[in-house]
Chains A and B, each alone.
Chain A
Amino acid sequence: MRRRWITALVALGLLLAGCSSDHDGSGGRITLRFQSLAWQEESVAANKELVEEWNATHPAVQVAYVQGSWDSVHDQLLTSFEGGEAPDVIHDASDDLADFAYGGSLADLRELLPARLMSDIPQRSWRTATFGDGIYGVPFLQEPRVLIANATWLKESGVRIPTPERPWTWDEFRRIAGQLSGKGKYGVAWPLKEPVSATLNLSLSTGGQMFHRGADGKVTVRFDAADALVPRTVHDEVNTDGSASGSTLGMGGSDTLPGFFGGKYAMVPLGFSYRQQIAQQAPKGFEWQVLPAPAGADGLAQGVSPQTLSVAADSPHKKEAAEFIDFLLRPKNMVRLALGDWMLPTGTEALKDPALHTAMDDWATGTALAAHLRSAPAQSVRGYPEWKDKVATPAFQEYYSGAIGLAELRKRLVEDGNLVLARYQR
């Protein structure tokens, strides 16, 4: 009996010891791990094809495609960095990089990237992945927030259709949303489940900054007239004009689509990539179009947090990882990735590609907005995630629903917000 138990325990020990590891036992051949967050069918296919093409032409440096998930990437990377097990090439978004960059988990890419790639991507895009003095990611895909509109409804109403050359002003947008409303229908549906990034990014068009860096390098929150214009427009459309549905304030973008297709809302402000879902799900005969977001004192300026490719600081093959990134982001390849994700490439050469200037699915409208995209205001602010979760999100939610007024919103964002930020800047 005892012997049987000992045998069982030894077998269990052997089972546990029989684990695998990542060591590449292929004499001299390097294997890079590329963790991609591509998730749409076309996007996954494009990424995998590019990896296969690289592997076919680089026998000495092979790339293993690892599927990651947007839903959990931060926690997963955090643990991987702590344990020294991070992938060599990391796909993420620029607004998720700050802590990893400042924490020394990501490699500074300035010395690793070729001049071609550095000059192809505009400075305004590089700023989104610049933390301190270093560049910690290559911004490669981005999307403006646009108005997806019911084309038939707009045409029948006779309102002026905005273009990137002649967009609506915020006042005009509010007036037209009112014009389109009535009989239980709304001119606009704001899906503001995540109200902070949407508000801050759209507020760039009115000159809103919210975060101001002083001469000492410390950041403080201010809420000036320029910061208030966009939130006040949304608040008034919902609570004063009745031109925006209050029930969509807590929804994500996808949740508003049934109402949009069902003729309840004339317009929905959404990310440019939502066109993929709309093209797939719209009822037969439903005509939709992409309109630029309203413009303010700073024109069509808008904050974005592009998707990025980074290299882990602990990677023993940083040079090869950077070469693979350079391959992925050659203009033709960047276009393939952009088309797969229904987004815009950051690269100047890629943006010239005819495929991005077609009227089909309104690619041309989005491409015309690319030059107006800037680094999201909160990108490099340490403590922003806590400020967003604990202060700004509840404050904006209450303001948009009409529970508090503008003065209370300002008080919370500034007073409570600065207390939070101060803790990160001692």
Chain B
Amino acid sequence: MKTPKRARAGQYVALLAYLVFLAFPFLWLISTAFKPPRELASLHPTWIPRNPTLANFRQAFDEQPLLHAALNSLLAALGAALIAVLIATPMAYVMARRRTLLARAATGWVVVSQAFPFVLVIIPLFLVLKHLRLINSVPGLIMVYVVWALPFALWMLVGYVRAVPVELEEAAAVDGAGRARTLVSVTAPLLAPGIVATALFAFITAWNEFFFALVLLKTPQKQTLPVVLTHFIGAEGVADLGPLAAAAFLATLPSLVVFAVIQRRITGGMLTGAVKS
């Protein structure tokens, strides 16, 4: 059935409005990052800085260890994404293929666990990590991020596994492939987009996470980007807006780059996971 022209135009207008809504804060952030202080406090702000400057970037780098913090964030996010996917994939496979009472209970628990607020778990978690000597360490933070990302990653991957027709695996078995061969040669390639999408979710969650990093990392050498960004904010929420915008702009770049590189895969993955066969 063809969509009427008017409806199609409406769809485009809605899409454009949504894009503007999404892009505005980011574009404003870029604009702010290049503005000198006098333009930041102008009653008539402009999109394009009248006197663009790199001073905010210089000040941000001079005042805070941004590169070091970015490296810590990258380590934590990559580590969390990798480990979460490694653990979640086989678990999701079992939960999707063996529809037992236990699997259903596990799925329910996964959904419920998403409702726990950070504040509820932070002090017990802090004490556990202290006992394990993992306070103020990136591996400790990775562990927390993995635990935090795992339920949702699992939930996502179960959908992707269910979308892979079991008949394909049965056909491979008929052709003589063993369990391992079937998983590696048949299921894994079909699951790849889903795994990438899940890994990306875990990466971005960890990259942007603030509260755990704030509480668990004590020394400047270990702090991640979101924590370092707060150092541009003073009492009563007063902010050093230029350097803050410059640092925040740099902090968003890795996520954008990762998205841009694997956009096609993730789109495929999301669509796959969204449809049950």
Contact = CB atoms under 8 A, between A and B. Distances in A.
Interface residues of A, number: 53
A67 B230 CA distance: 10
Nearest to A8: B86
Interface in B221-242: 222-223, 227-228, 230-241
B211 A75 contact: yes
A258 B42 contact: yes
Interface stretch (A80-88, A103-111, A374-382, A401-409): A80-88
Interface string A65-92: 1110111100110011011110100000
Contacts of B142: 16
A261 B37 contact: no
B41 A257 contact: yes
B180 interface: yes
Nearest to B65: A67
Given A75-B211, A79-B122, A261 B238 contact: no
A281 B37 contact: yes
Given A20-B137, A72-B214, A83-B126, A66 B220 contact: yes
Main secondary structure of the interface of B (DSSP, over half): helix
A264 B43 contact: yes
Contact of A69 (B37, B42, B180, B233): B233
Given A33-B218, A80-B218, A82-B127, A70 B136 contact: no
A21 interface: yes
B139 A283 contact: no
B63 A41 contact: yes
B139 A281 contact: no
Interface in A254-304: 254, 257-259, 261-262, 264, 271, 274, 277, 280-284
B186 to A, nearest CB: 17
B236 A20 contact: no
A83 B238 contact: no
A223 interface: no
B193 interface: no
A15 B139 contact: yes
B219 A281 contact: no
B130 A85 contact: yes
Contact of B139 (A18, A83, A84, A261): A18
A283 B235 CA distance: 24
A30 interface: no
B241 to A, nearest CB: 8
Interface in B42-84: 42-45, 59, 62-64, 83
Contacts of A24: none
Nearest to A64: B219
Contacts, number: 131
Given A22-B136, A83-B130, A85-B135, A40 B234 contact: yes
Nearest to B134: A19
B236 A194 contact: yes
B2 interface: no
B44 A262 contact: yes
Given A12-B83, A71-B237, A83 B127 contact: yes
Contacts of A258: 41-43, 45
B41 A252 contact: no
Contacts of A307: 235
A254 B239 contact: yes
B212 to A, nearest CB: 10
B219 A69 contact: no
A246 interface: no
A254 B215 contact: no
A342 to B, nearest CB: 11
A259 B231 contact: no
B264 interface: no
B38 interface: yes
Interface string A375-394: 00000000000000000000
B40 interface: yes
A39 B37 contact: no
Contact of A252 (B64, B123, B237): B237
Nearest to B235: A70
A16 B214 contact: no
A1 interface: yes
Q: Which of A12, A82, A83 has the most C-beta atoms of chain B within 10 angstroms of its own C-beta?
A: A83
Interface of A: 1, 12, 15-16, 18-22, 33, 37, 39-41, 44, 64-67, 69-72, 75-76, 79-80, 82-85, 87, 93, 193-194, 252-254, 257-259, 261-262, 264, 271, 274, 277, 280-284, 307
27 contacts: A19-B139, A19-B140, A21-B135, A22-B218, A33-B218, A39-B232, A39-B233, A64-B219, A67-B220, A67-B223, A69-B230, A70-B233, A70-B235, A75-B211, A76-B214, A79-B126, A80-B215, A84-B130, A87-B218, A252-B237, A253-B236, A259-B43, A262-B42, A262-B43, A280-B37, A281-B37, A283-B38
Interface of B: 37-38, 40-45, 59, 62-64, 83, 122-123, 126-127, 130, 132-137, 139-140, 142-143, 180, 210-211, 214-215, 218-220, 222-223, 227-228, 230-241
Given A22-B218, A69-B230, A258-B41, 16 more contacts: A16-B139, A19-B136, A19-B139, A39-B233, A41-B240, A70-B236, A75-B211, A76-B215, A80-B215, A83-B126, A83-B135, A85-B130, A252-B238, A258-B45, A281-B41, A284-B38
